[in-house]
Structure 1
């Protein structure tokens, strides 16, 4: 592999409707696109920490530990070392402490070395349903009845509006689509007693798991012991980069790890976590950090390689007003008009 140059560009894509990030909402997504020229071909990856400001101007809490500016500074140093020959893409990915940079560099290496599937069998869709406060029941029914017939699972955000409205939504899904299984996502939005009251009202036979039900993740085990509703971990993985599930995790109610690669780190680290979790009988669901279409496409390819039996959670593209990758004949190309150059490094 002969690396000839790197170029880094920044994107800013407005969203036509706000997307939830935990309890917060964002109306703009920003990130970086790293281009590498190797073996006379161009390769692209997205590096987009889930940080910055929400629509109210407050810092996004509980997701990426680094900022976009942190990533730019780190990349400038690491890419210079790679071009000079003192580092490889893989060694730089293992060296950096920034998860988004580690993910991007290791993914770039995998692309250049053709280690990911070019084509894969389409995953079964898992639509994301976000409750709308005060939505009339007739409109809610129309939304649910519009779901395609091939849907067997849906993901529903909870701890967003009122408990009564969210339970109504869940039971309506069961009424209209009784064979659909539910994955709930609370984003650590409940205190323990609230989570206990909420879970007591759920149609338990339909629930695959509830992601991060308790504000303090250590209380999820007690919630399972009290209610019998299994849970999954998501934010906990991003906030604790070295997290490893305990050997008794399954017996204590843990059923899945919802892994955001942009918050996890390098591909080898991701593979190690998945292998360990699978050994304990846990499912692993790769999940979007609200990346652009380029990042979403890459998650799908990585999921096909590492978690082919579990549909990744990538149903977050609809509000994006611009796609960063677009069809071009038999291939796809970048929408360069959405990018602002940051720097270039050449041999």
Structure 2
């Protein structure tokens, strides 16, 4: 007797939707040396016969609170991503969900490639069982003209279980920033600091700054030099471990092991597809370099996804997702705020049933 094995029918996309949101911030958030007071983005909705999922696609772009163009982060604009999705979505209805991966691979927009590959993973159930985690590294930064006493109060309020904090540097005068570093360590001497310079120092400034802080308290400094080619010279001069962040977002970036390179801070929204993300994590691990997932100031829907991905891709590292405190409401998934935007409150751009 001949038995014919019938292959399972691949999951197909039955409904699709695209919505836009804008959420005000209770306090400005740093984007490099700039500040933003509102976060805008898109929500992609997709449904199969088995489940419905939502994905936040929020390129870090637009203007800051001074009306200046945000530089150094997403190259694509929100409008460009919207237009690309409005072109793609009508082609996807009733198509196998693997088409999401094909479009992700073809896309030159990192935020779109990330969003489409993330949607595929969610529809396949690959993120199930990995809930929004409380694990995070607190972000410490000083608002414009904010007294150091207020920063000190936030440090004092950190849970005793906090082992590391991220501190923004290359924002103010050298004197003020050194005072901030030493004050943090005076309050919590056992803390390890992850410094983030966002390429704000010249080589000379980076060396001068690093020479005045206790190296034993520093895990690494992200992008210390305005010219990334100076990072190795910086390390040779001061032996402070350093990490890459913005450099990873260059379309031509290829991993290279360099003296002093300790970690890669990967912002998935700025980096690209999950496949590309996994490849970089694997390559870095082969060279003993840590990989840490970090937010691009997404709303709660995007932060939840990064939290889940961190548990899957980098389970031994605490992700850098301590940015929701500035948002005045959540987006579709609750992080505990009083208000959570539902789909009906968002601006529909495309709905296909």
**TM-score interval for Structure 1 and Structure 2 normalised by the shorter chain:** over 0.9
The 2-side partners of 1:138 and 1:288 are apart by: 27
Offset at 1:163? 1.2
Q: How far, CA to CA, are the matches of 2:149 and 2:125 in structure 1?
A: 50
Q: Is 1:304 the counterpart of 2:304 in the alignment?
A: no
Q: Which of structure 1's runs of 4+ aligned residues deviate more than 4 A?
A: none
Equivalent residues in 2 for 1:30-179, closer than 5 Å: 30-83=40-93, 85=95, 88-120=99-131, 122=133, 124-179=135-190
CA distance in 1, matches of 2:187, 2:297: 29
2:263 is matched with which residue: 244, 247, 256?
A: 256
**1:122 offset after TM fit, Å?**
3.8
Contact kept? 2:12, 2:95, Cα under 8 Å:
no
| TM-score w.r.t. length of structure 1 | 0.93
Q: What secondary structure sits across from 2:55 in the alignment?
A: strand
1:20 paired with 2:30, answer yes
Tell me the distance in 2 between the aligned counterparts of 1:16 and 1:121. Answer: 22
Assess if the C-alpha contact under 8 Å between 2:13 and 2:94 holds in 1.
no
**Secondary structure of the structure 1 residue equivalent to 2:166:** strand
Hey, what's the Cα distance between the residues in 2 that align with 1:71 and 1:295? 16
The aligned counterpart of 2:293 is 286
Q: Any stretches of 5+ residues in structure 1 without a counterpart? A: none
Contact 2:136 2:318 in 1 (8 A): yes
Residues 121-145 of structure 1 deviation map (CA, whole Å, 9 limit, x = unaligned): 9464311000245544444432321
Quote the offset at 1:120 in angstroms.
5.0
Specify whether residues 70 and 137 from structure 1 end up closer, same or farther in structure 2 by C-alpha distance, changes over 3 A only.
Answer: closer
* TM-score when normalising by structure 2: 0.91
Aligned pair partner of 1:185 in 180, 189, 196: 196
Secondary structure in 2 matching 1:258: strand
Deviation at 1:343, TM superposition (A): 1.1
Residue 205 of structure 1 aligns to a residue whose secondary structure is helix
Q: Look up the SS of the partner of 2:325 in the other structure.
A: coil
Instruction: Give the RMSD, CA atoms, in angstroms.
Output: 1.9
Contact 2:136–2:321 (CA under 8 A) maintained in structure 1: no
